[in-house]
Structure 1
Amino acid sequence: GAVLSGNSFVDESRITGESMPVEKIEGAAVFAGSINQSGALEVSAERIGRDTSYGKIIEAVERAERSRAPVQRLADRMAGYLVYFALGSAVLTYLITQNITSTISVIIVAGACGIAAGTPLAILGGIGRSARLGAIIKGGVHLETLGKVDTVVLDKTGTLTFGRPEVQAVVAAADVSAEDLLDAAAAAELRSEHPLGKAIIAHAKAQGRSVAEPEHFAYTPGRGIAAKVADSMILVGNQAWMRDNGVAITAPLNLGVDAASEVYVARGGVLLGAIAVADTVRPEAKRAIESLTALGIRTILLTGDALPVAQAVGRSLGIKEIEAGLLPEDKLARIQALIQQKRTVAMVGDGVNDA
């Protein structure tokens, strides 16, 4: 749909994989299945039900669940033939022995129950074992194919990363302590619903800092916050917000974090420093990628997030093939193209968009 009025931040990670909430203003497009994070929005629905991106994802999942493993289809065919064999053997046994007990024994021994029931039970057992280990396999066909996989396609948000913004670096300007910078930023953000602000407050509390209550608070969409704390005016926002308020950034601050959101902080018109906020890579992700590479399996990163963010994550994990800015249907098209190249592909993700 489209935003008719209002301003807010929306979590689109279920649909696009974008790790950071996206700001929505009047005229902006909104995906069905998005989660509103802060303010109020009036949205005109342009598509409903199966016509939405979310609906297409659900439809794809339902199609996948209806598929049967090749070994299951083979077992069903064999069971059908075995029924005729068992009945024929039983008739022949009765004609020769005239013994009803022997005839029933032949039917029991030659029956198709073992084949018909054994294959689904084995598949269910494998899927159940995988689930206990934290891997959800969507059907028998995928379990059977897993042993032949030569290409693994990975989502980023929530799979290789935790999927939530966290403070990565606090860099203070000259003659300013990191504690003073963090205290000022947290106090200004205390009444904010912005996801970056929440990350800063959480970091300050985790560091054991007490967060002061602002006396005045004002938020400018797309720019930042102006808050009065202990008779001092504190500004928190992007570089444009600093320039708009006459705060000079005379020397670049080396935050040392690739593709992070840079939050600048000033007090009384003087720059205090900057805070880098970004999604955090899971510590076990690098080990997993190294294991796949050692097995000779090709790894590809497909994400809806921005290219600089995807490249930063990919480089840190040793993934060479990276595509960003993709919707779920784009990811599906890429995977189908790999399959047409005779690759056996496994998709690793965490959300309904990846399903």
Structure 2
Amino acid sequence: MVTYVFILVLTLASCAAKIMHVQEGGEVELHFSYPCNSTRITLQYGYKAPCFSSNPWSKSMPPNQELEIEDETDDCCIKLTISPVSKDDAGTYILTAYRNGIRLPEYPRIGLRVAYPPRQASCEINDDNSDNNAEWLSLHCRAPQGTLPGQIICYQDGMRLPNRNGPRESGGHVRQELLARLDGFVRCCSSTIDHIKEERNCTDWGWDPMSDRIFEDISHLTPEARSTDQTNHLTSDTVTVNITTTTPDIAESFPNRETEPVEYAESQRSNLQWVVSFTLSMSFSVIIIIILSIKYHHNVKEMQHLKSSLPPKNASQPGNTCLQSPNKCPDESNV
């Protein structure tokens, strides 16, 4: 009995696994140490056949996994790099070392736990509008549940759509109801609570209310590509007509509706400039007239002041007999 207990304790100690946690889409490195005097080492995933063997040499790894052997004198190690990590990479990785065909009792195991968000979302359109609002419709959306808390978000014309109720988990799915308008392309997707996807990355499900078309996957159609595709479609039709037929001059066949508003705007601008120029000229003229009037009244007052200070014309001055009796003064022309 004591022997069996000792063997069980030894087995549990040798099989103790290290647990590592990583989120889907990230990168992780798993390090396995083993004795350098080992004659053969293998690496396996769970209880499947080994994906790596050193003797005989064989390696069968997924595309996102890379194996590197570091066999130094004192410390030998295998490094397994997984990037990007996917949900399928979760599990237990076991390294086994052999010496002369005998498996060594101590071998490392690493358990990898991968956290992932809800999977691809899909929606159903509810035509029964209980709110009696003809501009809005309800979208009943759901997505397979992940290990991370998730939600469903929708965009329309660059704006995030409002929720009619919050996300809830039921039957292995995340369920949520949102409101959408009857105009503008709608795109929906699943997302985590902490990390909300942008509109360009929201590509799980789409709906065009104008044509009433539903798209199960719009990963190939970004918001910019959608408008570009419509422009290219119109452009390609125009180019085909120009190549296959001889079209008349558009300016002669149709009225130039684009240049008429421009000419009208130029005319209005010219009239406005004339009015402003005339108003400024009149204002300047009025100012000049006011200044001249003020100066004229000032000069008139000065002249009146000078006249009031001069003596009268018939006033006599002492010592001047010529002024008193001009006939008594000799004629200067006779002197």
- What TM-score range do you get, normalising by the shorter chain? under 0.3
Q: Which has the higher strand share?
A: 2
Higher Rg = 2
Higher relative contact order (CA 8 A, sep 6+): 1
The normalised TM-score by structure 2 is: 0.20
The normalised TM-score by structure 1 is: 0.19
